[in-house]
């Protein structure tokens, strides 16, 4: 089952840790190959420190 998942995701993910049996669990660790687009962080807008007039 995990071989088919590994093959299906081969173009977008790479194997970080191959198949591993832990008790009754069979696990595999995959990481993304695709770099996510990160917009440059903008400085937060400055909030005025003057109290609002009533």
Domain boundaries, the chain: 2-32
The pLDDT value given to residue 16: 92
Neighbouring C-alpha atoms within 13 Å toward the C-beta of 6: 12
Nearest partner of 6 among 39, 28, 37, judged by Cα: 28
pLDDT band at 34 (very low <50, low <70, confident <90, very high): confident
Residue 28 to residue 50: CA distance in whole angstroms: 55
Q: pTM of the full predicted structure?
A: 0.53
- For 22-33, what is each residue's pLDDT tens digit? 999 999 999 998
């Amino acid at each position: 089952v995990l071989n088919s998942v590994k093959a299906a995701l081969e173009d977008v993910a790479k194997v970080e840790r191959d198949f591993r049996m832990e008790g009754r669990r069979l696990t595999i660790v995959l990481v993304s190959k695709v770099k996510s687009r990160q917009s440059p962080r903008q400085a937060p807008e400055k909030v005025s420190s003057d109290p609002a007039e009533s």
